[in-house]
Structure 1
Amino acid sequence: MRAGTVVFYLLLVILLTMASVQYGLGRLPGDIVVDLGDFYFYLPFTTAIIVAVLLGVVFWLFRR
């Protein structure tokens, strides 16, 4: 796999993860949330894994 393909796949996962969190898939069990009052940090770990697996399946189906 070439470096350009890996970068494209990584950027696509990040973009789709951000879109899925913004439009309703966020707050899954396994997503990391730190809320300290004035500081809020959200890391959609599980959401990113789900998006990556779905993209992997889609790309695998198109390669067949």
Structure 2
Amino acid sequence: MGKILMTLGIILLIIGMIWQFIGKLPGDIVIKKGNTTFYFPIVTSIVVSIVLSIIFYVIGRFK
């Protein structure tokens, strides 16, 4: 279990580092009006949901 958690941690670290350079994914909604900005990360939310689902599925398989 320790190796799995370390591997998942490294994967999440790499994803986080890549995310810093990308900023936002195509498909995220940004509306700018005057001095107000509305940012709705719909595609980012879907990607995070899929990644977390895969992680929890893999962890659940080892129980």
Alignment TM class, shorter chain as reference: 0.5 to 0.7
Return the structure number with greater helix share. 2
Give the direction of change, closer, same or farther, for the CA distance of 1:27–1:46 in structure 2 (3 Å limit): same
Q: What are structure 2's unaligned runs of at least 5 residues?
A: 1-15
Structure 1 unaligned residues grouped into runs of 5+: 1-19
Give the alignment's TM-score, normalised by structure 2.
0.59
Structure-1 residue corresponding to 2:30: 33
What TM-score do the two structures reach when normalised by structure 1? Answer: 0.58
Whether the aligned pair in 2 keeps the contact of 1:32 and 1:42 (CA below 8 Å) is yes
* 1:26–1:44 contact (8 Å) kept in structure 2: no
Larger-gyration structure (1/2): 2
Cα distance in 2 for residues equivalent to 1:37 and 1:26: 22
Runs of 4+ in 1 over 4 A off after TM superposition: none
Identity value in percent:
40
Q: How many residues are paired up?
A: 43
Instruction: Determine which structure has greater relative contact order: mean sequence separation of CA pairs < 8 Å that are 6+ residues apart, divided by chain length.
Output: 1
The partner residue of 2:52 within 31, 48, 55 is: 55
